[in-house]
Structure formats: structure tokens, C-alpha cells
């Protein structure tokens, strides 16, 4: 059973406030704490601690990059 995290809990894992570095994609929260490509929560001009689903289209790669990452939880759905 995966834990459900709020956007503010995710925002704390931005590579600045807490040691963990997390990003959300399509409702899942992925751990990029140990990724050299997400050092201090920054990946090119993209920042950790938020839902990056809409930003993937700006990437030179597809969503295959998420395949080997650990899922730490689910992102609480935004209020409609
Ligand atoms: C200017 C935009 C971006 C550039 C130039 C870029 C570039 C890269 C490159 C070169 C890699 C390594 C790919 C590989 O291992 O084959 C990578 C990995 C990755 N990218 Fe991006 N990316 C961009 C945007 C994004 C966005 C918007 C997201 C999230 C939605 C994202 C998520 C990731 C993830 C999760 C990895 C895997 C990290 C790892 O396994 O250590 N990227 N990116």
C-alpha cells in the first residue's frame, strides 16, 4: 500500500528543505535523491518537489527514465 502525499509534503522534498529529492509524474512520486542528474533538486531548468507531468514534453527523453526509479508514494489529487 503506497502512502499518499500532499503537494506541500512533496514540495519539502525539493532538494533544499529536506534530504530527500522527489518528483511527481502522472500521480506517482519518484525518488531521485541519489540521481546525479537531480543534484540539489535541479535538473536542467526543472525543479524537484513538484508535479512535473506537464513539463515532460520539454524533455529530450521520454518517460522511460522513470522505469528504474523507486516509487515512494502517490500524489494526492488536486481539488477539481
Ligand atoms: C530541458 C529539459 C531536459 C533535459 C535536457 C533532460 C535531460 C536528461 C538526460 C540527458 C537524462 C539522462 C537520460 C538517460 O539516462 O538516458 C535525463 C534523465 C532524467 N530526466 Fe530529464 N531532461 C529534461 C527534462 C526533464 C523533465 C521535465 C523531467 C520530469 C518530468 C525529467 C526527468 C528525468 C528523470 C527522472 C531522469 C532519470 C534520472 C536518473 O535515472 O538518474 N527530465 N534527463
pLDDT one-digit tens code per residue, 33-79? 999 999 999 999 999 999 999 999 999 999 999 999 999 999 998 76
**With a 6 A CB cut-off, is 71 part of the ligand 1 pocket?**
no
**What is the structure's pLDDT at 80?**
59
Residue nearest to atom 42 of ligand 1 (CA): 59
Q: Give the list of residues 6+ apart from residue 10 with CB closer than 8 angstroms, or none.
A: 22, 24, 29, 49, 50, 51, 75
Q: Binning pLDDT at 50, 70 and 90, where does residue 23 land?
A: very high
d(CA 43, CA 77): 24
CATH T-level fold of 3-75: Flavocytochrome B2; Chain A, domain 1 (3.10.120)
**What is the structure's pLDDT at 77?**
86
Residue-range domain boundaries for the chain: 3-75
d(CA 65, CA 1): 23
Residue nearest to atom 20 of ligand 1 (CA): 65
Amino acid at each position: 500500500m503506497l502512502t499518499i502525499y500532499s503537494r506541500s509534503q512533496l514540495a519539502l522534498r525539493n532538494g533544499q528543505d529536506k534530504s530527500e529529492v522527489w518528483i511527481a509524474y502522472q500521480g506517482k512520486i519518484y525518488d531521485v535523491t541519489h540521481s546525479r542528474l537531480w543534484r540539489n533538486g535541479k535538473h536542467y531548468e526543472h525543479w524537484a518537489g513538484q508535479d512535473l507531468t506537464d513539463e515532460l514534453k520539454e524533455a529530450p527523453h521520454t518517460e522511460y527514465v522513470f522505469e528504474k526509479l523507486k516509487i515512494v508514494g502517490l500524489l494526492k489529487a488536486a481539488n477539481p
